Amino acid sequence: MDNFLLIQLVALVFAVSFGLTASIWGTRHWQMSAIRRRGDQRAVQSSHSAPTPRLGGVAIVAALVLGSFLIPGEVGDATSLLLLCLVPLLAGGLWEDLGYGVSPRRRLALAALSTLLAVAAFGIWVDRVGVPGADWALALAPVGIAFTIFAVVGVTNAFNLIDGINGLSVSISLLVAASLGYVAASHGVFELTQASAVLMGALGGFLFINYPFGMVFLGDAGAYSVGFILAGLAVALMHFAPAVSPAAVLLIFFWPVADTVFAIYRRRVSGRRSDKPDRLHFHQLTMRAIEISLVGRRRRALSNPLATAIIVPVAASPMLAGVALSDNNAAAFAVLFIFAVLFFVAYKLVINWARRRPNRIAASTAGQPAHEL
């Protein structure tokens, strides 16, 4: 596909995603009759105060389906096949978005099923992580497939966990897609660059309505779908470009993965189940810090998008490092360690800052156990 045709296709996918997202917003009153009855905005991890449509993922996936039919050749066929593998996970997320509870474990099981279908359909899996002993084990199909399911499910869930404030998950997804596409192009895998560009178009159309005011949310169906597709692109990139560093790929996914790993650690240390939601993700703490220091708690319409504006450039830093070190595994591992330390230190600084303001933060953490601060 030539560049001009690709630009036209991306523009079309963008327009379709934007139009469908606008339609979802236009029918919000009909949708909210169901969501309001189930108290969606009262969830402990919620960062919004009014019921909001959560079907933005439908617009993104529908735009991608159209794009998959219009992309010529093997890229279109592969995209269609990946979207077909996505169906179980998409259905589970959509059911949750419609207000019919689907437990986290069942959603993770559906993500595992979609991953297994993709592995069977494409015949590829993660067979290297840049560590000699581990690479030998991953070359064995059962081990490699099991690890791929674990990794893809983890990344898929990570994008859902960072989808807590307006525009954050989609903005980071856009940057991840752009990074994967650039690395793919630099290693001669132009088919993956085309697929990444089409995904960026679908994400961009939704972002225009999701940010800054959160008129429509990505929803579980959207967050899981986007995370799954990005993870699939990463697995394909490592397979078709053997020179790409696994550590560099992890740097590109650093922010959602680090936030998820730290969330599991945090909940385990506090004696809670790892799948129990809380309000202590980095983006939630950042938003509350803005409320306490700058705008006040009643100005969430400002603190929410401001938190995204602060976090996205920070989250882009490890991605840029991953792109720059895409063919240098040793350096990428070293930089990965540095970013992990920086993330931990930054999180601890925010927590300690919050502890020094117990009276003002109390209102911002209503319902949150004190020992978790």
pLDDT tens digit string along 256-310?
Answer: 999 999 888 888 887 887 777 777 888 988 898 888 888 877 778 889 999 999 9
CB atoms within 10 A of CB 153: 24
Here the tokens at position 54 are 């959560």
Cα(69)–Cα(248) distance, integer angstroms:
31
Q: Which helix (H) or strand (E) holds 322?
A: helix 300-324
The answer to whether 238 and 126 have CB atoms below 8 angstroms apart is yes
Task: State whether the Cα torsion 202-222-228-87 is positive or negative.
Answer: negative
The answer to whether 216 and 55 have CB atoms below 8 angstroms apart is yes
Domain region containing 234: 3-372
Cα(40)–Cα(31) distance, integer angstroms:
12
pLDDT tens track for 360-371: 544 444 444 333
Cα(263)–Cα(269) distance, integer angstroms:
10
Cis check: omega of the bond before 212, within 30 degrees of 0: yes
Is the full-model pTM beyond 0.85? yes
Q: Looking at residue 361, what is its pLDDT?
A: 45
Between the CA of residue 86 and those of 56, 60, 139, 265, what are the distances in Å? 16, 13, 25, 29
Q: Looking at residue 36, what is its pLDDT?
A: 47
Number of domains, the chain: 1
pLDDT tens track for 89-121: 999 999 999 888 888 899 999 999 999 999 999
